[in-house]
Amino acid sequence: MKAYDVIIIGTGAGNIIADAAIRAQKTVAIIERGRFGGTCLNRGCIPTKVMVTAANLVCEMRESARIGVLADNIRLDWETVAKRLWQKIDEGPGIQTYYDQFPNVTTYNGTASFTGKKTLLIEKNDGGREEIEGQNIFIATGGRTNIPKLPGLAEAGYVTSETFFGQKFPKKPYKSLIVIGGGPIGCEFSHAFRAAGTKVTIVQHNVRLLPKEDEEISAFMLKQFEGRGIEVLLNKDTISVRVEHGEKVLTVQDRKSSEQAEVRAEEILVAPGIRPMTELLHLEHTDVSLDKRGYIRTNEFLETSAEGIWAIGDVNGKAPFRHKANYEAEILAHNLFEGRAPEDWRWADYDAVPAVTYTYPEAAHVGLTEKEAQAQGYETETAHNNYSAAVKGFALGFEPGRSDDGFVKLVLDKRKHHILGAHIVGHEASILIQPFVNLLMCGKHTIKPISEDIASETTKKLRALPLTRDLDPRSVYTLGESMTPHPSLSEVTMWTRYYYEKK
């Protein structure tokens, strides 16, 4: 049985850990059951943003007449969009080739499962099997679409973000599409297809579109979607699916009135949320514990309840964003592979995790919503400002009273006047949110235990100190401890520090 210093399961943010382990001259095993690059590259952030960016330009050009720019016959060229997104997805094999060049690294294409506390069986994609063991194991397997138990769905057929960017990628836009789920994934697909000319219907279980956004943002986004011809059915249960006359027919039921209705379309996209990729790992053979949702429990140092096993990214359930996974991976790289004394360790702080929905317009936030802040006992007040109030906003065509006049909303602690949350909806919200992320991360931080029962001896000592870090707003290294929404254009400026640190 081969033994490694480091085993990494999953090749999204896990690659950051792999790079650090390689620099530290550790022996490394990297295991991937699909394409190298993880969810973000293959079926998430990157290909979807290629689609929605093209869709954004279609929307902008259609509205450009109000600022004196006239354009005719505006349309989305599906063939060009498809070529560009597959260009990015096809970078996956190059990632594996990069790691294969290192003599201390072995890459495996297959499915890993635990056979013991530190041993893994790899069922190789080519049919072979191999058992390995590792001193330090990092789980970065991500998540996948949570498919509802919906009668007739499997028989009728459907697509998810996984299969869409795989064997079910359409040669041309659908004529009509039902999207089950009104969260970020469902909304981004809906926006892209509507811009391509598809008749789109969103079926949402919640009473709000984008329910994790502040209520004012959510209401604004609903108006924008409906204004562009997207039908949004809120507060609906999905009852059954059947195929009739070549169309897929979804029966829905209003959760308040119990009234039923039918929606028809060429295809159904299922996007009600994600679930962790843990069932194939056979964690019952380890001391790793799961929460009630099935996610791997981790503490502020990304330790699991099993000694020598860490978990990052979607699989630990903290927030399903690539920038959050990168942040966690960089913490582990800093703490475990750079020769740092524990007193210089970093820890995960999830108070300033930015989130962006890349639709038209964009919605972005960091920190608490107004309701969340009040639920935590804060006496709050808010500050608002519309795009039309700025000269650049007017130049872009936003005017007071227009239905698309985006805005910034700050949630404030009334007593201290501290920012508790920032919420933006409108043009390039993904860029405008970045200063608030940085502001919330600057200053003195004192360690806050997460999952207090998970604690190595080192963690116990650091909690007892308690460990503190002072993030100077002028330091380039502070940028490295502030998240940047991925894949926003803010990465151009924020990632400059990465190349400085790695010189």
User: pLDDT band at 42, cuts 50/70/90?
Assistant: confident
> Is pLDDT of 498 > 90?
no
Q: Which domain holds residue 392?
A: 350-501
What pLDDT score does 166 carry? 87
- CA atoms 431, 435, 440, 442: torsion sign: positive
Q: Report the distance separating Cα 250 and Cα 267, nearest Å.
A: 10
What pLDDT score does 401 carry? 94
Query: Which tens digits make up the pLDDT trace of 399-441?
Result: 999 999 999 999 999 999 999 999 999 999 999 999 999 999 9
**How far apart are the two ends of the chain, measured CA to CA in Å?**
37
Q: Which of 51, 68, 16 is nearest to 37 (CA)?
A: 16
Type and span of the H or E element at 26 = none
Q: Is residue 221 part of a domain?
A: yes
Peptide bond into 361 cis (omega under 30): yes
Secondary structure string (H, E, C) spanning 279-312: CCCCHHHCCCCECCCCCECCCCCCECCCCCEEEC
Q: How many domains does the chain have?
A: 3
Partners of 421 in the β-ladder: 367, 411
Contact yes or no for 147/258 (Cβ under 8 A): no
Q: Is residue 77 part of a domain?
A: no
Query: Which tens digits make up the pLDDT trace of 456-485?
Result: 999 999 999 999 999 999 998 898 899 999
Same domain, 193 and 263: yes
Query: Which tens digits make up the pLDDT trace of 48-78?
Result: 999 999 999 999 999 999 999 998 889 999 9
What is the arithmetic mean of pLDDT over 37-49? 88
**What percentage of the chain has pLDDT greater than the value 70?**
99
Same domain, 401 and 466: yes
Same domain, 355 and 468: yes
Q: Which of 199, 186, 86, 116 is nearest to 145 (CA)?
A: 186
What pLDDT score does 196 carry? 96
Listing DSSP states for 200-232 in one string gives EEEE-SSSSSSTTS-HHHHHHHHHHHHHTT-EE
Q: Is residue 55 part of a domain?
A: no
**Amino acid at site 25:** Q
Type and span of the H or E element at 357 = strand 355-357
Better-predicted residue by pLDDT, 43 or 116: 116
Same domain, 130 and 260: no
Q: Is residue 428 part of a domain?
A: yes
Averaged pLDDT score across all residues of the chain:
96
What is the arithmetic mean of pLDDT over 155-164? 95
Q: Which of 484, 231, 186, 230 is nearest to 364 (CA)?
A: 484
Spell 254-275 as b/e; 16+ CB within 10 A means b: eeeeeeeeebebbbbbbbbbbb
What is the arithmetic mean of pLDDT over 225-229? 97
Q: Is residue 63 part of a domain?
A: no
What pLDDT score does 293 carry? 94
Residue 73 has a CB neighbour count (10 Å cut-off) of 4
Same domain, 280 and 157: no
> Is pLDDT of 502 > 70?
no
What pLDDT score does 503 carry? 57
What pLDDT score does 496 carry? 86
Residue 417 region by backbone torsions, left for phi larger than 0, else alpha for psi between -120 and 50, else beta: left
Contact yes or no for 118/304 (Cβ under 8 A): no
Type and span of the H or E element at 68 = none
Q: Report the distance separating Cα 132 and Cα 130, nearest Å.
A: 7
Query: Which tens digits make up the pLDDT trace of 310-362?
Result: 999 999 999 999 999 999 999 999 999 999 999 999 999 999 999 999 999 99
> Burial, 180: exposed, middle or buried (Cβ in 10 Å; 0-12, 13-18, 19+)?
buried
**Amino acid at site 65:** A
> Is pLDDT of 221 > 80?
yes
Last residue of a domain, one of 272, 299, 314: 272
Same domain, 171 and 141: no
Helices 45-63, 78-89: inter-axial angle, 10-degree rounding: 150
Query: Which tens digits make up the pLDDT trace of 296-320?
Result: 999 999 999 999 999 999 999 999 9
Same domain, 388 and 491: yes
Same domain, 366 and 313: no
What pLDDT score does 38 carry? 87
What pLDDT score does 156 carry? 97
